[in-house]
Amino acid sequence: MTKDAHQAADAAPALDACGALPSAGAALRPRDVAASCGSRAYAALDLGTNNCRLLVGTPAPGGNFRVVDSFSRIVRLGEGLGATGNLSDAAMDRAVAALRNCADKLARRPVRALQAVTTEACRRAGNGAAFLARVEAETGLRLRVISAREEAELAMESCAPLLEPGDRRALLFDIGGGSTEIAWIRIHPGRQVPELIGYISVPVGVVTLSERCGPSCFTEAGFHAVVDEVAAKLAGFDAVHCIGQEIRAGGVRLMGTSGTVTTLAGVAMALPRYRRPLVDGQTLEACVADQALGDLFALGRDGLAAHPCVGPDRVDFVLPGCAVYAAIRRVWPVPRLTVADRGLREGILLRLMRADRLVGARRAAPRGWHGTA
């Protein structure tokens, strides 16, 4: 079984709650809220360039949450987008079918609140708005297109519990299907929520790269050409924020979230099959992650398709993602990598639950009380 097939089976551990109030956007329709006001579950749906994912969780003690249901399917929504500027009919059909499954799950499990978002593919597509109107008409789901900055913020909030005492800064990257988000983060001692001090969205992801130069990534020359291209795109961001200088001073944690880094971790740990609880939060020596990258490259297409942490559905995306990771490592040679199997959906759930706690605290406060939660 592949990584995606195991995500529903391996329930996530409790996650610390942190983050800001949610932005206005996709939520349950009024009739749904009325029907589910007694539910303790919250839902987050993320339609990305490559995957459609749903996560349902309930609050747990200490501001944490427990996963009670999940769904993940590769839909390749961004397939062909780079060449045409539009979402293809086949890609939209695949995405709608997956979203219909998500809607069916939500109909069977009423939730207190839902946020449904979409990212790079719908940001770029000329027919993105028409597609989202079709989604709402056919599934009842109202998806909100979020900015690259909000992507970075959500990833930061979900990964914040993995920070450790002594961390001054964190460099968080998310290698997506249509883009790669980089967040430069300041950690304030004693504060639960870190500060996003800079971010960049690089318009290269595993889907766009696999379509443009996927076969060449199986050759050394082609792989290193992608590394050079991405590293050049990151150099300006590094110069603006003096990240290399901060790394040399120490106290900078490199954190990665996405299928690329979780696959590297699974290979480095020699897992017989991918298991999220074993991977999420794991810190690898960079040389170990580099060796795992080399092992993946040496497998070739057939070997990747047969690998339990890759599989045939992801074989075209692994090496393009590894090339992006190698570029990040070249520009920012941090000695260790913290792997996070969490991201947008977890960040959304944390925001929704935190917002409800704030509302509850204000309702419970005596008249005239102006404290903060």
- pLDDT in the model for residue 368: 54
Distance between CA atoms of residues 316 and 175, nearest Å: 14
Distance between CA atoms of residues 271 and 289, nearest Å: 14
CATH superfamily of domain region 24-145+344-364: ATPase, nucleotide binding domain (3.30.420.40)
The 10s digit of each residue's pLDDT in 314-333 is: 999 999 999 999 999 999 99
Helices (DSSP H) in the chain: which residue ranges? Answer: 3-7, 30-35, 81-84, 89-108, 120-124, 128-139, 148-159, 206-213, 220-241, 243-249, 259-268, 276-279, 286-306, 315-331, 344-364
Percent of the residues in the chain that have a pLDDT greater than 90, as a whole number: 72
Cα dihedral angle (182, 83, 88, 216), rounded to 10 degrees? -70
Type and span of the H or E element at 340: strand 336-340
Please say if the pLDDT value at position 77 is more than 60. Answer: yes
Give CATH for domain 158-340.
3.30.420.150
- pLDDT in the model for residue 258: 87
| The pair of three-digit structure tokens given for residue 245, joined into one six-digit string | 């200088």
The 10s digit of each residue's pLDDT in 223-266 is: 999 999 999 999 999 999 999 999 999 999 999 998 999 999 99
Residues of the chain with CATH 3.30.420.150: 158-340
Distance between CA atoms of residues 205 and 180, nearest Å: 6
Return the DSSP state at 91. H
Check if the beta carbon of residue 322 is closer than 8 Å to that of residue 256.
no
- pLDDT in the model for residue 283: 97
Nearby residues of 116 by Cβ (< 8 Å), 6 or more positions away: 26, 44, 45, 47, 141, 142, 143, 144
Q: Which residues are 67's β-sheet partners?
A: 57
The 10s digit of each residue's pLDDT in 4-60 is: 444 433 433 344 333 332 333 334 443 343 344 567 899 999 999 999 999 999 988
Helix (H, G, I), strand (E, B) or coil at 337: strand
| Residue showing tokens 């961004």 | 78
Q: Which strands, in side-by-side order, build the sheet including 64-74?
A: 64-74, 51-60, 42-47, 113-118, 144-145
- pTM reported for the whole predicted model: 0.82
Residues of the chain with CATH 3.30.420.40: 24-145+344-364
The 10s digit of each residue's pLDDT in 353-367 is: 988 877 766 666 665
Please say if the pLDDT value at position 128 is more than 50. Answer: yes
